Structure 1
Amino acid sequence: MRSYRRSLRFLNPWLYVLLASFLIFGGGILFAAKPVVKLGTLKLVGSAPIFIALEKGYFDEEGLDVKVEWFTAAAPVSVAVASGDLDVGATGITATFYNSVASGAKMYLVADRGMERPGYPLNALVVNKALYDSGTIRSLKDLKGKKIGLSTLGSTFHYQIGKLLEQEGMSLKDVELTPLRTMPIMIDAVRKGTVPAVILSPPWGAVAEEEGWGKVLFWVGDKLTNQVVGVFYSEKMRNNRELGVRFMKAYIKALHYYYDACLAKPRGAHYDEVIDIIAKYIGQDRKSIERSLSYIDRDGRLYLPDLIAQQEWYVKNGLCKTVVPLEKFTDMSFVEEAAKQLK
């Protein structure tokens, strides 16, 4: 009996090792750790495909552990992708991005996440309600000599303001651009009348009218076709082909869900569910969200010609030094591969 007990004491440590190995590896697959993907974006209506992918478990289906960091402005997202602090960014395409890739930063636009198209509300030129009601500001020309708020110089808002002024025979010299850094500060400034006008991302144009502190002069997409927002991969993410495709499959699957529910004519069966998902993440009412469903290409394809046009404008206005060829910073192969695998 004593010999038997000594044998058990001798075997116990090895049994523990075998048990631990089973729990960790689970037969080789069951308990394998999911690769972590660090994603940066903003809590805006246009992030709907990301919200959907999180809520519907599409990232989980691809075996991904997606950690989201929420930002309040676009430029810091692309900076974090370029530095490798983020694997994926979903944000505005800015002069900061173009200057980074021109300087040798390795990051790549891989999919659409929002563009200006006629009839689809994305960014809105919003003026202070009191100034609108008094008749002081009823058109873009009425802003001559006045302040227009934006997040940062070189932002998507900067580009859009410049292009819109040019359509009216004006230029940036005719207004006073006022960088306010973040969306909350921009909203507060136009609400209080500190600046008479700002360009706001969705749903804030609709919110301004619903809450009564602002008036939408027009939706930018009704005057300008523009690739505003994209999905970016870091160099490490792009070089990990399998991981990049898995992330893109989840994103495109969610994008189909959003497009078919909200943008298709007639709207799809999951419309109410998608509105509820968006509301959960951005904390706004359904009515404002329903007025702010921006266009995203159903298959995530970028409007590539506009990326050249943007750079040419930035160079012309001293915000970029050179035009970077598309092949240096775009890679549509992930969208194409994801589409094939989802068929």
Structure 2
Amino acid sequence: MFAASGCILSGGGGGQSGGTATVRVGTTNSSSDAPFFIGDKKGYFEEQGIKVEFNSFDSAAKMIAPLGNGDLDVAAGAPSAGLYNAVARGVDFKMVADKGSTPAGYGYMPLLVTSGSASSFDGYEDLEGMKVAEPAQGTATSSTLNEALKKAGLSYDDVEHEYIGFPDHVAALENGSIDASLTTEPSATRAIQTGAATRFAGTDEIYPDQQLAVVLYSGQFAQDDAEVARKFMVGYLRAVRDYNDALNNGKLAGPNAEEVISILTEFTPVKDAGLYQEMTPNGVDPNGELNLDSLEKDLQFFKDEGLLESDAVTIDGVVDTSFVEAASEELGPYEKPEEG
């Protein structure tokens, strides 16, 4: 499926050495992959001399091995204990840009409570003893749940943890096998629409500005194909800014929202435009800046929970901000369109 080398060059204009660079991008076809799809659809990568080759995975965790051996150049990932343990084992990649975060109004992974439990659920203290769903052990979502529990003076061990993939949360909420969940969109809105659950709080309230998803570059791509990597980031940030133009008051309701929703329905499994209009979208910094404080906090949480194989891993050793800095300088300041 994958080529063995890094960025592939072919004849044509742009790219390295006068050729077109093929950049292999791993996605889970989720709504937070929107900038990749926007950049491809609107020709922003092509203008940089880049042809994007998308490779679909059913989880971000499965991208790590091909990213580490150079079979992927770019990937979408969530900061997690597994990610940092891969670094400790010598897997070479860098976190280079924001892909999903939670600024005010954009808490796209809300705390949901089953309809059966909602009537007696008055606050975070009522989470104690509940069965709470997360996508996997030791992810950024685990740290989100920890922050919710801390608001009531509870610890991470004061709930029963159920590790269930986000798309399966809806069924688990419906059949009562869990009491609550931290569920990303659009599954969260689906659960609410079916009456399976009610929304108690958005991630932006639980953990403001949490860095929930990041863009990753393979070490080979970042080092050996640095100019192509920079150009890819220019195309990515142009698309991120288009995505930000589509945001308005916590919804995809900005001036170009119809266009962005159309691209999402084309590239993702969710074909219901109405669901995209109803759900709470993720935030993405228009300059691609990562929230380093959030990454540090979550890394410390993984250490405190004994989930890391080595204490030697540091955020400074994993993050490379040079690509977003160069791309932002080239593109200039972002200006949000007037909200009508």
Under a length normalisation based on structure 2, what TM-score does the superposition of the two structures give? 0.84
- State the Cα deviation string for residues 23-58 of structure 1 (Å, max 9, x = none): x967999xx863222211222222221121122122
- Name the CA distance, whole Å, in 2 between partners of 1:229 and 1:57: 24
Q: CA deviation at 1:317?
A: 1.1
Match of 1:49 among 15, 18, 35: 35
2:267 counterpart of 1:278: no
Partner residue, 2:245: 260
- Name the CA distance, whole Å, in 2 between partners of 1:295 and 1:244: 23
2:296 counterpart of 1:311: no
- State the Cα deviation string for residues 174-206 of structure 1 (Å, max 9, x = none): 1111112x3223332222221122211122222
Partner residue, 1:70: 56
- Name the CA distance, whole Å, in 1 between partners of 2:138 and 2:181: 15
Change (3 A) 1:83 1:142: farther
Q: CA deviation at 1:63?
A: 2.1
Partner residue, 2:337: none
Partner residue, 2:180: 197
- Name the CA distance, whole Å, in 2 between partners of 1:224 and 1:278: 26
- Name the CA distance, whole Å, in 1 between partners of 2:319 and 2:305: 23
Q: CA deviation at 1:263?
A: 4.6
- Name the CA distance, whole Å, in 1 between partners of 2:122 and 2:82: 32
Change (3 A) 1:264 1:301: farther
Number of positions where the alignment pairs a residue of Structure 1 with one of Structure 2: 315
Change (3 A) 1:83 1:177: farther
Partner residue, 2:115: 129
Partner residue, 1:247: 232
Q: CA deviation at 1:265?
A: 10
Per mean C-alpha deviation after superposition, the further-off stretch among 182-191 and 156-165 is 182-191
Partner residue, 1:329: 318
Per mean C-alpha deviation after superposition, the further-off stretch among 109-118 and 269-278 is 269-278
Unaligned residue ranges in structure 2 (runs of 5+): 1-9, 333-340
Letter of the aligned partner of 2:175 in structure 1? K
- Name the CA distance, whole Å, in 1 between partners of 2:266 and 2:259: 11
Per mean C-alpha deviation after superposition, the further-off stretch among 193-202 and 227-236 is 193-202
**What percentage of aligned pairs have identical amino acids?**
29
Q: CA deviation at 1:100?
A: 1.8
Q: CA deviation at 1:289?
A: 1.9
Partner residue, 2:335: none
CA contact (8 A) 1:149 1:179 kept: yes
- Name the CA distance, whole Å, in 2 between partners of 1:53 and 1:175: 41
Letter of the aligned partner of 2:52 in structure 1? V
SS at match of 2:20: coil
Per mean C-alpha deviation after superposition, the further-off stretch among 244-253 and 62-71 is 62-71
Letter of the aligned partner of 1:151 in structure 2? P
RMSD: 2.6
Per mean C-alpha deviation after superposition, the further-off stretch among 302-311 and 278-287 is 278-287
SS at match of 1:256: helix
Partner residue, 2:336: none
CA contact (8 A) 1:256 1:298 kept: yes
- State the Cα deviation string for residues 284-307 of structure 1 (Å, max 9, x = none): 533432332221101101111221
Match of 1:224 among 181, 189, 207: 207
Structure number with larger C-alpha Rg: 1
Change (3 A) 1:25 1:167: closer
Structure with the bigger percentage of helix: 1
Partner residue, 2:123: 139
- State the Cα deviation string for residues 302-336 of structure 1 (Å, max 9, x = none): 11122111111111111124163333111111111
- Name the CA distance, whole Å, in 1 between partners of 2:218 and 2:132: 33
Under a length normalisation based on structure 1, what TM-score does the superposition of the two structures give? 0.84
**Structure 1 residues 86-125: aligned runs within 5 Å:** 86-125=72-111
- Name the CA distance, whole Å, in 2 between partners of 1:26 and 1:125: 49
CA contact (8 A) 1:263 1:295 kept: no
